[in-house]
Amino acid sequence: MAIPAILVLEDGTSFIGQGFGAQGRSFGEAVFNTGMTGYQEVLTDPSYAGQIVTMTYPLIGNYGINEEDAQSEQPQVRGFVVREAASFPSNWRSQESLEQYLRRHGIIGLMGVDTRALTRRLRQHGTMRGIISTRPEDVAAPAGLAEEARNTAFAGPALVPSVSTRRAYEIPGSGYRVVVLDFGIKRSILKSLASLGCHLMVLPWNTTADAVMALRPDGVFLSNGPGDPKDVPQAAATLRQLLGRYPIFGICLGHQILGLALGADTYKLKFGHRGANHPVKELASSRVYITSQNHGYAIAPESLPPELRITHLNLNDGTVEGLEHTDLPVYSVQYHPEAAPGPWDSTYLFQRFLDYMARGRKAYA
């Protein structure tokens, strides 16, 4: 029997459909993802912590869920909204259905709503606070939910600590020693670095510069993660102490934190970039890459100091997608070269990190 469920945005707009997965009520930032596949990677990407995610593709769940594609130990979203959730997945890798997976992890799903209308609302007015609920009293009185959503504060400063590792751990390798500062890292990023032979030392987000230097790494990697980079000023402060000592590579939130550490500013995008088909131009070569993205903040180009130059631009809206230091082996990108989901056009960026460490091993040891 279908359970009525509702998503109410802070502006009073409501979307009523059927609940699936877990039951209850959850608050989050309503966003949308344009990917046609990769819903499991979306669900488990720590960068989605604190968010209610809408998938724009109309049929989600048709190939089920498997352990291998998960980007973290559990779903990170606060809610999941789809036009249609497949009841009977068909794929040789499938281990359970989308509904079973959400129910097992306590994530509320909403299906049967006009996701095109919801996406248009978020594009026109920007991301908003929202509440997703299967409670009968909430479905019957959405106006009260809208007011509650408006008056509920985001847990911004708590997002990165909630998804970062709480203890240091290592992934053995015979190659370069890489310190990974974990702001909410995806497993596919670790796999990409490990596949190149790197010995990975994964550290909590608030690890001090002295603790990093004590490990004598060949390079420092800054991971992706959720929320506003200004909510974790300690990370930028730590990074300032590491600049000039090691090659540094940052992705997504790591890219934004690197910009802040070097004196640039960041700002919140109207509705963010979330999907697997964003065109990005590399300025040096004029080559265009199709990229996987998941972020709600960007670097303000007018704030860049002279020692930082733009390497990549988003062809949809002109936002900064890549930076590099003019003198130091330091660079970053706003998008996800490891994909998962998405194209593998940009995996060369990991090899570039190895090249920097190869040239700087003696100088930065």
Catalytic residue among 10, 29, 324, 338: 338
360 pLDDT tier (thresholds 50, 70, 90): confident
295: nearest Cα among 123, 55, 46: 46
Per-residue pLDDT tens for 31-90?
999 999 999 999 999 999 999 999 999 999 999 999 999 999 999 999 999 999 999 999
pLDDT > 70? residue 362: no
Per-residue confidence (pLDDT) for residue 2, from 0 to 100: 79
Q: If one looks up domain 159-364 in CATH, what number appears?
A: 3.40.50.880
- The boundaries of every CATH 3.50.30.20 domain in the chain are 3-153
* 338 given a catalytic annotation: yes
Long-range contact set of residues 189-197: C-beta below 8 Å, sequence gap at least 24: 189/223, 189/224, 189/251, 189/336, 189/338, 191/338, 192/337, 192/338, 192/347, 192/350, 193/221, 193/350, 193/353, 196/350, 196/351, 196/354, 197/173
pLDDT tens profile 243-285: 999 999 999 999 999 999 999 999 999 999 999 999 999 999 9
User: Residue 361 pLDDT > 70, yes or no?
Assistant: no
Arithmetic mean of pLDDT over the chain: 96
pLDDT of residue 154: 87
Categorize the per-residue pLDDT at 359 as very low, low, confident or very high, splitting at 50, 70 and 90: confident
List pLDDT tens digits, range 283-296: 999 999 999 999 99
Please report the pLDDT score of residue 50 as a whole number. Answer: 96
Partnered with residue 275 across adjacent β-strands are: 293
Q: What is the mean pLDDT of residues 95-99?
A: 97
Whether 198 is a known active-site residue: answer: no
The catalytic position among 29, 41, 198, 252 is 252
Residue type, 346: S
CA distances 353 to 142, 205, 270, 271, 363, Å, are 50, 20, 32, 31, 15
pLDDT in tens, 300-333: 999 999 999 999 999 999 999 999 999 999 999 9
Joined together, the tokens standing for residue 178 give 């890489």
User: In this structure, are residues 86 and 97 in contact, taking their beta carbons and an 8 Å threshold?
Assistant: yes
3-153: what CATH class? alpha beta
Residue 276: what pLDDT? Answer: 95
How does residue 364 score in pLDDT terms, banded at 50, 70 and 90?
A: very low
What is the average per-residue pLDDT within 191-206? 97
Domain with CATH 3.40.50.880 in the chain: 159-364
Report pLDDT digits (tens) over 101-131. Answer: 999 999 999 999 999 999 999 999 999 999 9
Please report where in the chains the tokens 């106006």 appear, as a residue.
143
